[in-house]
A and B are shown apart, each in its own frame.
Chain A
Amino acid sequence: MSPREHVDESELHAFVDGELDAENRRRIEDHLHGHAEDAALVEGWRRQNAALRAAFAQTVKEPVPAGLRTASVTSLTRSFGSGVNWARFSPSKGASLRAMRRSDTSRRLPRRPAIVMSLLTLLAGAVVAGAALLAFTGPASPPAPAQRAIIEPPGLVGHAQLAYQTFAQDARPVEIGADRKGELSLWLGERAGFGRLPDLTEAGLELVGGRLVPGVLAPAGLLIYQSSGGVRAALYFERAGGEHPSAAPPKTAPGLAAVEWRAAGFAFILIGPLAAEVARAAAESAAAQAIR
C-alpha cells in the first residue's frame, strides 16, 4: 500500500507545519495511512498546536494599549523623546476636552452680549447675596459655596487612584514595609479598621508594605504590592456601608485597571497598571482573604 520509503520524524514535523511541497505531502499522507503510530503522533502535535493557539488567542483580540499604538506611529517621526509614549497617568481625556471646549466658546462670543451677560450675572449675584444675607441673619457668615464647586469629591475609585498615583511611584511608597507586617497590621487595624494584609503572590504580586492615607470620609489603608517585573499595584480600603459598589462607575486614568468591591463594611479597590485578568485574579484573591 504505501511506498516503503524511509520517513523520519523531522518530515512529520514539516508535514504538520506546512513546510512540504505537494509531492512530499502526498508521500507523508500515504505513509500515515499505513502507520497508525505516526498518525497518532501527528494528531497529537496538531492538538497541541490548537491548545497553544487557544491559550493565547485572547491577546490578539484585546485592544492594543494606547502607548503601544503610538509607539509604532511616533517612533519614526519621533519628536518627543522616547519616554513620552508611556504616559500612563495623563489626566482624563474627557475633562481636558471639556475644558478646551469651554474656553473656545467663551472666546467665540461677541463682545457686546458678553458685557451684557456679565452685568446680568453680577446683578443676579448681588440679588442672591442680598437674599442670602436676609435669610441667614445669624452672626455666622454663610459658608463659601465656591470652594465646593472647585474641588469636587472624586468618589472612592478616584480617591484610590489619587492615593495610588501619589504613593506607588514615590521613592518612599510605604510607611511600614512588609518586613514589619505585625506592626503594619496593628496600625491599619486600629486606624482604618481593617488590619489584614492579603497575600497576592498567587497573582504575582508581593507585598511591599502599607500606610495610612486620608480616605473620602474616614482614614483609609493603602497596601502597595509589586510584581517581579517592578510593576506596582495598590489595594485601597476604607470603611463604607453597602453591599454594592458605588452607583456611577468612574473612569480610571488610561493604563490603570481598577476593581472595586464591598465586603464586611468596607470598600476595597485594587488599582494598578495591570492587565485586566491579572487585576481580576488579584482582586478575587484579596476578596477571598478579606472575608475569611
Chain B
Amino acid sequence: MGQAEDFDETLERLTPGLRRYARALLSGAVNDVADELVQTALQTTADESKLDSPRRDSPNAVLDLRVDLYASLTHAAQRRLRSAAPHRPSLRQPAIMHRLADLPFEERETLLLVVLEGFTYDEVARITRTDRPVALMRLMRARSALTALDRHPSPGADAGRRPGPHLRVVK
C-alpha cells in the first residue's frame, strides 16, 4: 500500500545492477553464465517474497528486496564458481578486471557491493551473512590488494575492442 512502484517494476529496475554485479563477480568474462545467475536470483527471490507478503508492505520493502536479491545472486555465484573452473578475463579487458579476478571471492564480493552497487557496510554484512567488522576487514584487504594498480586508467583498453572494418556484427 502506498508504494508508487509495484513489485515487478522494482525487480525490473534492479535487474541492470544485478547483471553488472554478476559479471563483475564472475570476472566479467562469461556473460551468459552471469545472466543465468541473475535469472536464478530473480526467480528465487520473487518466489520467496510471494510467500512473505506482510514483509512486502513494510516501509523497507524495496531495500529488503534488494538485499535479498544480491544475497541470492552472491550465493548462486559462489556455488557456480566452486563447481566450475574460474574464468579468466580476456587480455583486452582492463587491468583492474584481472586484479579483481585474483581476489578471493569474499573480498571481491565485498568490494563490489560497496563500490559498484553502493551498499552500506551494514547491508553488505547482511548480504554476505557476516557482521560489519568482518565486511570492513574484507573491504580493506581487497583495496590494499588492488592499490598497486592503475594509477591512470588505461585509455588503450577500449581501443582494441572495436571490430575491424571488414567485420560486421549482425543484430
Contact = CB atoms under 8 A, between A and B. Distances in A.
A201 B45 CA distance: 35
Contacts of B7: 76
Contacts of A76: 7-8, 46, 50
Contacts of A72: 8, 11-12, 15, 42, 46
Interface stretch (A91-99, A136-144, A162-170, A226-234): A226-234
A49 B115 contact: yes
State the majority secondary structure of interface residues on B. Answer: helix
A106 interface: no
Given A13-B140, A55-B97, A204-B87, A68 B15 contact: yes
B33 A229 contact: yes
Contacts of A274: 31-32
Interface residues of A, number: 68
A109 interface: no
Nearest to A160: B170
B163 interface: yes
Nearest to B154: A51
Given A48-B143, A82-B43, A64 B32 contact: no
B33 A231 contact: yes
Which of B15, B85, B90, B170: most chain A Cβ within 10 A? B170
B143 A65 contact: no
Interface in B108-154: 111-112, 114-116, 120-121, 136, 139-140, 143, 146-147, 149-151, 153
Interface stretch (A176-184, A217-225, A242-250): A242-250
Interface in B28-53: 28-33, 35, 38-39, 42-43, 46-47, 50
Given A52-B96, A55-B28, A273-B32, A258 B120 contact: no
Given A51-B153, A73-B8, A68 B170 contact: no
Interface of A: 9-10, 13-14, 17, 19, 44-45, 47-56, 59-60, 62, 64-65, 67-69, 71-73, 75-76, 82, 85-86, 157, 202-204, 227-229, 231, 243-245, 249-252, 257-263, 273-281, 283-284, 287
- Identify the 5 closest CB pairs spanning chains A and B, nearest first: A275-B31, A229-B33, A72-B11, A75-B46, A258-B170
Interface of B: 7-8, 11-12, 15-17, 19-20, 23-24, 28-33, 35, 38-39, 42-43, 46-47, 50, 84-85, 87-88, 90-94, 96-97, 100, 111-112, 114-116, 120-121, 136, 139-140, 143, 146-147, 149-151, 153, 161, 163-164, 166-171
15 contacts: A13-B136, A48-B149, A52-B96, A52-B115, A53-B115, A55-B24, A65-B35, A68-B15, A75-B47, A76-B8, A76-B50, A204-B90, A228-B30, A245-B168, A258-B170
